[in-house]
A and B are shown apart, each in its own frame.
Chain A
C-alpha cells in the first residue's frame, strides 16, 4: 500500500476545483488571529501567499536570506507568464493550456493539479494588473501577448524582458503593505536551517540570523516552504548565487518525500561558459526564439573556421547554414519545447558543428526577422517603397530593441559582442528543477502541516516545464490555491487547540519552549560547529565545482546507467573529502558567507546523489530526463508508459538510505501519446 495519498477530489476534471472550493471548511475569522503561519521564501510563491494569508487575517512570519524580500530569484525571470485568457482570439482555452502543459511535461504530471493551474491562470493576470504591475500593452491600451515554446497560441503576458521583476515587485508591495499594517513580520537575512516536527507534525523552524549568527526558534501552526529550485547542485546554472536546497532537504530528512529529483531543465538559450572563473550562467530569454533563428554551419570545415576565428557567421551563405530545429521539427521550428531544443543543440555540437572556441555554442540569429519581418512592415507603415538593406535593418532594429532591448544589452555587456550586428552564441545551461518536495492536491507534503509552493515543490510540470509557466505556477500556488487548501488543515488545528485548551504542556502554550525546539536547535548548532571544526585545506567552492562537474557530465542533458553509477561513487567520494578537508574561515557568531555556503553545499552533496539514484531507476527517457539507452531511431526521447508512468517520491531513511514510493499517474481526460513537435 502506497504511503502517498494525492487527495485528488472526486468528480469531473472541470468540476474538481470549483466543488472543492465551495465545500472546503472555512476558518472562523476570530480563530485566524490565533493561527501563526511561517512562510520560508519571498519569491513569487512566498510573497504572494504571505500577503494573501495576512489579508485573510492570519498571523504571518516571512523569511528570506537576501537583504530584502524583493531580491528573491523570481526577480530574474525574463520572458513572461502564461494565462489562458484567449485575448488574442487564437483558440486558447483552459483546456488547451492544460493540454499543452501535460504534453509539454511529457505526461508525467498530475491531471487534476494542472487543470486547476490552467483554471486560475487568468485570475493571476487580473490580480497583477490591479496591483499596478505594468505589463506590456498594445496601442489600443489592451494587454499584449507573445508565444513561448511548446504552444501554438499567444498566451504569454510580459513586461519587456523583466516580467519576473515586475510580478515580484507587485507581490512584494502587497507583502510590504501587510508588513506596514503589522500583519506580517519580515525576517530578511535569515536562513532556515531546520524544520521542527513534533510527533511527525510540522511545528516550526530553526533559522539563523545571518548578521549575528544567532540561531532562532520560530513556532507556526503551519510551515510553508517557498524556497525555490535546486539547480545550483550543478554549480553553474542560471540560478542566483544563493539559490539552494537546504530548506527542502532538511524537510526531506524530517519526513517530507522528495519527488522526481532527476527532472532538471536544461535551458537551450544561455550565454556559453567563457572560462574556469565562471560563477554563474546567464539566460537569454526563450522569448528570443520568437524572432531568432537557431543554426550551425552545414559543413564541418566552416564550423572549424569559425571556431578558429577565420570566418564569421556573416560569411556563410544561406545554403551553408543548417537551421536544424526548422529542419527537424517543421511544425514548431524554433519554438519546440526546451528539452527538445537543448538536446538538438548538444547533438550538433557533439557532432562537431559548434561555433565558439570551445565548440559548445550555436547561433541565435535575428537578422532575418529584423529585416524581413519587422523592417518590411515598418517600411510599409512609413510608405517606403523600395527600402534598402540598410534601411530595413535600421527600421527592424528599432522594433527588436523595443522588444528585447535589455536582453541585447545584457548579452553585449557579458560577451563584448553586439548582437544587433553579430548573431548571439548560445548553449544550454541548467535552469530549472521540475523535481521538488512531493505535495498532494492541497500542496501539503508528507509531513502534516508542512506545505511547499512554487519551484520548491514537484507539482505541475512533469518531466519538462514549458516556458512562462513557473511564474504562473508560483503565483497560482500563492494567491489562489493555498489560501483555500490550508483552511482544511488549519480547521483541524483549531479543533485540536480547543481540545487541548486545558492541557498545561500543550504546544500552543509552550510554543518554542517545547523541548523539540531545543533539540532541533542543538542539532543545528552541532552541524555548524562540525563544519567549522574540520579545518581542512579546501574552500567550499572547490567542492561545489567538483560536484557540479560530475552532475553536469553524468546527470545532465544526457544520462546513462554506467555514468550514473560512476557519478554516485564519485559524489560519495567528494562528500567524504568535504567532511575531511573543508576549510571554513571565520566563526559562527558573525556575518559569515563562507559558512552559509558550506551548509548549502553539504546538502547539495547529498541531494546530488539522490538525483543520480532517481535518474538511474527511471529506465526511460521523458522530458528533461534523457537516458541514452532509451531513444527512438530518430534520437527522440522514448518513454515507457507501461512501467514508468509514476511520480518517484523518495523517503529519507537516514544514513544515506532512501526508499522509493510510487504515485501512479492516471490520465483520464487526456490521451497519452508519443510527444511530437514535427
Chain B
C-alpha cells in the first residue's frame, strides 16, 4: 500500500529567523505516493533531512484537515497551491506528477514577517479581531436563544462569511497585501445578524483602522483573494464592508478602542 513512485524536485525557502536573509534551496524526494498529502510529503523530506543531520524545514500546520487555518505555503506561485477551495494540508500529491519541480515559499506580506523558513507571524489578524470582531455580550446575560428568530437566509449568509479560517491566503494572494477579505468576512457576519446591530458602525471603523495600523495594503479590487480563498469567502463581503465603512464614517466620530466595556 504505502510508498509510491513519484520523484520530485522541491525548491524551498530557507530562512533562519526574522533577522537573517533567506534563500531558495533545492531538495529531491523519491517514492512519493499520490495518496500522500502535501504536508506528508514534507514529512518525508524532513525525515530524510534528520537522517542526514540537517535541520528539517519549519512549516506551520496543526489540524491537517483544512479547518484550523494554521497551514500556509505559497506553492508554485499560489497560496495553498493548485486546486481551489482547499488548504495546503488538504492538497494531495495526486495533483502533481512524477518529475515535477515544486516551488515552496512562505506567505509574503509586510504585515506577516517570516519567523523561520515557511512560518510567518499572522498575529496582526488577532489584533484586528480584538478591536471589534465580536459582540459585546458578557457570559450569563443572554436571553433564550429561540426568542430571537433569524431568517434562515440571513443566518446562512452570516455562516458563509463566518467560515473564514483566518489563514491569510487572501493577503498572500493580493498584490497590495490587503487584508480586506478577512476583515470584511467578520464585519459581514456580524452586520448580517440582529445581534450585531448595536456595534455595527463602530466595529467597521475600528477594524479597518487596525488593519491600516498593521501595515496591510489597500484594496484595488483585483479579486485575487476570492480566487485563492480556501473557504470560498466571496468578494461581496468587501463590497459590504465598503458600504458599512462609508455609512459609519459619515455618522460615527472616529475609530476608538474597544467599545462596550463593562
Contact = CB atoms under 8 A, between A and B. Distances in A.
Interface string B120-153: 0111011001111111111111111110111110
A169 B164 CA distance: 10
A240 B64 contact: yes
Interface stretch (B38-46, B97-105, B219-227, B243-251): B38-46
Nearest to A83: B145
A51 B262 CA distance: 12
A414 interface: yes
B44 A69 contact: no
B94 A416 contact: yes
Given A275-B36, A277-B3, A130 B50 contact: no
A186 B126 contact: yes
Contacts of B152: 137-139, 141
B134 A173 contact: yes
A462 B119 CA distance: 40
Contacts of A139: 152
Interface stretch (B54-62, B73-81, B171-179): B54-62
Contact of B193 (A132, A143, A162, A279): A132
A541 B42 CA distance: 13
Interface residues of A, number: 84
Contacts of A541: 43, 47
Given A159-B159, A279-B39, A173 B50 contact: no
Nearest to B120: A67
Given A70-B69, A179-B126, A166 B136 contact: no
Contacts of A357: 1
Contacts of A282: 64-65
A76 B70 CA distance: 12
A279 B126 contact: no
Contacts of A165: 67, 163, 165
Nearest to B32: A277
Nearest to B138: A55
Contact of A70 (B131, B159, B166, B193): B166
A358 interface: yes
A75 B58 contact: no
B135 A173 contact: yes
Interface string A173-205: 110110111000010100000000000000000
A34 interface: no
Interface SS of B by simple majority: loop
A492 to B, nearest CB: 24
B14 interface: no
Interface string B1-44: 11100000000000011000000000000000101110110011
A188 to B, nearest CB: 7
A176 B129 contact: yes
Contact of A136 (B17, B40, B155): B155
28 contacts: A48-B139, A71-B63, A75-B165, A85-B145, A123-B142, A125-B145, A132-B193, A132-B195, A133-B162, A134-B162, A135-B155, A143-B146, A165-B163, A166-B162, A169-B162, A176-B130, A176-B133, A180-B132, A242-B62, A276-B1, A278-B40, A279-B43, A357-B1, A413-B90, A585-B49, A585-B50, A593-B56, A594-B56
Interface of B: 1-3, 16-17, 33, 35-37, 39-40, 43-44, 47, 49-51, 53-56, 58, 60-70, 85-86, 90, 92, 94, 115-116, 119, 121-123, 125-126, 129-146, 148-152, 155-156, 158-159, 162-163, 165-166, 189-190, 193, 195-196, 257-258, 261-262
Interface of A: 48, 51-52, 55, 66-71, 73, 75-76, 85, 87, 122-123, 125-143, 159-160, 162, 165-166, 169, 172-174, 176-177, 179-181, 186, 188, 211, 240-242, 274-280, 282-283, 357-358, 409-410, 413-414, 416, 479-480, 483, 539, 541, 583, 585-586, 590-591, 593-594
